[in-house]
Amino acid sequence: MLTRIDHIGIACFDLDKTVDFYRATYGFEVFHSEVNEEQGVREAMLKINETSDGGASYLQLLEPTREDSAVGKWLAKNGEGVHHIAFGTEDVDGDAADIREKGVRVLYDEPRTGSMGSRITFLHPKDCHGVLTELVTSRADH
């Protein structure tokens, strides 16, 4: 069962400059940053608030580390902006299977490792009214 909006992913050309904008404009601070080599991105998670299920809601700023990454290709085509929305779930495997049974394409056969050690998968945007959608099970200590 989906429990919250976990994060909104925003693709950017310059992560540091984009972090500075969100800090100066809204007062958001970086909660976590990392490089995800598998996905070819450098990212910063800006915590917005805590949620009733023990999770949190974030903005995820994504800068590609290589042009052939999914985010790099997306930026080349679309420019900076909202890349995806992610919903939190206690069971990414079960929810992905349930959603797949409803005819929505799930992009990974098995969930992958996402930010802060989470388990993630994506749903095809053509099956979600043009929105790339991510399902996230957070690591227990985040």
Choose, from 7, 39, 63, 83, the residue flagged as catalytic: 7
Residue 141's pLDDT is 60
End-to-end CA distance of the chain: give it in Å, rounded: 19
Distance of alpha carbon 1 from alpha carbon 71, whole angstroms? 27
Distance of alpha carbon 134 from alpha carbon 106, whole angstroms? 9
φ and ψ at residue 50, rounded to 5 degrees: -85, 160
Share of the chain above pLDDT 90, in %: 89
Among the residues of the chain, which ranges form H helices? 15-26, 70-78, 92-101
Among the residues of 69-137, which ranges form H helices? 70-78, 92-101
Q: Is 43 a catalytic residue?
A: yes
Q: Is 134 a catalytic residue?
A: yes
Choose, from 39, 60, 63, 83, the residue flagged as catalytic: 60
Q: Is 60 a catalytic residue?
A: yes
Q: What is the pLDDT of residues 99-111, one digit of tens each?
A: 999 999 999 999 9
User: What is the average per-residue pLDDT within 110-130?
Assistant: 95
Whole-number Cα distances in Å, 131 to 49, 75, 87, 118: 23, 15, 12, 21
Q: What is the pLDDT of residues 8-33, one digit of tens each?
A: 999 999 999 999 999 999 999 999 99
Examine the pLDDT at 58 and tell me if it is beyond 60: yes
Choose, from 39, 63, 83, 84, the residue flagged as catalytic: 84
User: What is the average per-residue pLDDT within 40-65?
Assistant: 90
Q: Is 142 a catalytic residue?
A: no
Choose, from 39, 63, 83, 134, the residue flagged as catalytic: 134
Show me where the domains of the chain are located. 2-137
Residue 49's pLDDT is 86
Distance of alpha carbon 44 from alpha carbon 132, whole angstroms? 19
Q: Is 110 a catalytic residue?
A: no
Choose, from 39, 43, 63, 83, the residue flagged as catalytic: 43
Confidence band of 72 (pLDDT split at 50, 70, 90): very high
Confidence band of 87 (pLDDT split at 50, 70, 90): very high
- What is the CATH topology of the domain spanning 2-137? 2,3-Dihydroxybiphenyl 1,2-Dioxygenase; domain 1 (3.10.180)
Confidence band of 140 (pLDDT split at 50, 70, 90): confident
